[in-house]
């Protein structure tokens, strides 16, 4: 099933709006194309106290290969996404990187491991996963990681604690796409959200470091809600002042 949405991209001055195709895979899973080589996957889960919550992940493609950043909320939804990527998109998933240890980032890692899909993560994420009895990513890095997908590079960086102690950002220079995940808030957010596993004193400085480094980002994807441009980081920084 396919639907067309008109999404306003605030802050992208060269685009007032685009006709955005959103593919409904199941009642709790959608795909939205954001460039020739990238999709956002949006999965939904009902959480106590929050209701039905959508979470964003990223799929980056080079020819018939793909890399996955964040899984849907659980193994079941991740299985549906992987099947769709393989059977309907003709993609071979080369690897996976989570933003941090929460379910909306690596709740489907257990399924990926049953499929033999390699995973990389911040070493802090690996340590936390081990402490909490969660599935553990295969390979760790400390400050940065460079991965090649075909001839295109993918860069992962740890800039410090914010939403969680282990949260990273993913940068795809060929697309000018930055995926800071739950570090970054959508423009309709009222607060920084769940910060029980993060560091409020470090949060603003982490956002500042990310903002300074990626001033040329064209598309920025938050962990929840609509994507946009660098104004999302500016807005997130302003939310830090509430605390």
pLDDT digits (tens, 9 = 90+) for 187-238: 999 999 999 999 999 999 999 999 999 999 999 999 999 999 999 999 999 9
Report helix, strand or coil for 107: coil
**Confidence at 243, pLDDT banded by 50, 70, 90:** confident
Q: Which of 56, 156, 184, 224 is catalytic?
A: 224
The pTM of the full predicted model, rounded to 2 decimals, is 0.91
User: 119: which DSSP letter?
Assistant: B
Q: Pick from 206, 176, 142: which is nearest to 12 by CA?
A: 176
How far apart, in whole angstroms, are the C-alpha atoms of residue 138 and residue 143?
A: 17
Give domain status of residue 222, yes or no.
yes
Q: Pick from 143, 122, 149, 123: which is nearest to 209 by CA?
A: 143
Q: Is the pLDDT of residue 9 over 60?
A: no
Give domain status of residue 3, yes or no.
no
224 as an active site residue: the answer is yes
Conformation bin of residue 90: beta by default, left when phi > 0, alpha when psi is -120 to 50: left
Reading the block at residue 30, the tokens are 């959608």
Q: Which of 37, 163, 184, 240 is catalytic?
A: 163
Give domain status of residue 8, yes or no.
no
155 as an active site residue: the answer is no
92 as an active site residue: the answer is no
Q: Which of 62, 74, 176, 194 is catalytic?
A: 194
- Cβ pair 153, 174 in contact under 8 A: yes
Conformation bin of residue 51: beta by default, left when phi > 0, alpha when psi is -120 to 50: left
Parent domain of 62 = 22-240
Give domain status of residue 10, yes or no.
no
Give domain status of residue 7, yes or no.
no
| Total number of domains in the chain | 1
Give domain status of residue 134, yes or no.
yes
Q: Is the pLDDT of residue 10 over 50?
A: no
Query: Tokens 């809600």, residue?
Result: 225
Give domain status of residue 1, yes or no.
no
Q: Which of 28, 75, 100, 105 is catalytic?
A: 100
């Amino acid at each position: 099933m396919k639907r067309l949405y008109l999404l306003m991209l605030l802050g992208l001055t060269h685009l007032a709006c685009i006709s955005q195709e959103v593919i409904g895979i199941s009642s709790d899973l959608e795909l939205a194309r954001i460039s020739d080589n990238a999709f956002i996957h949006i999965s939904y889960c009902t959480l106590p106290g929050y209701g039905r919550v959508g979470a964003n992940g990223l799929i980056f493609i080079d020819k018939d290969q793909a890399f996955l950043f964040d899984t849907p909320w659980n193994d079941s939804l991740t299985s549906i996404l992987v099947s769709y990527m393989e059977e309907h998109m003709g993609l071979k998933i080369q690897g996976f990187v989570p933003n941090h240890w929460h379910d909306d980032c690596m709740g489907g890692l257990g399924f990926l491991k049953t499929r033999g899909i390699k995973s990389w993560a911040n070493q802090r994420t690996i340590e936390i996963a081990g402490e909490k009895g969660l599935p553990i990513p295969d390979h760790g890095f400390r400050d940065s990681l460079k991965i090649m997908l075909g001839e295109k590079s993918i860069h992962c960086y740890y800039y410090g604690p914010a939403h969680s102690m282990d949260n990273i950002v993913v940068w795809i220079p060929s697309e000018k796409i930055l995926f800071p995940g739950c570090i970054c808030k959508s423009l309709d957010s009222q607060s920084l959200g769940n910060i029980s596993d993060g560091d409020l004193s470090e949060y603003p400085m982490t956002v500042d470091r990310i903002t300074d480094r990626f001033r040329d980002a064209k598309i920025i994807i938050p962990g929840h809600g609509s994507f946009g441009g660098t104004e999302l980081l500016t807005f997130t920084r302003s939310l830090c002042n509430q605390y």
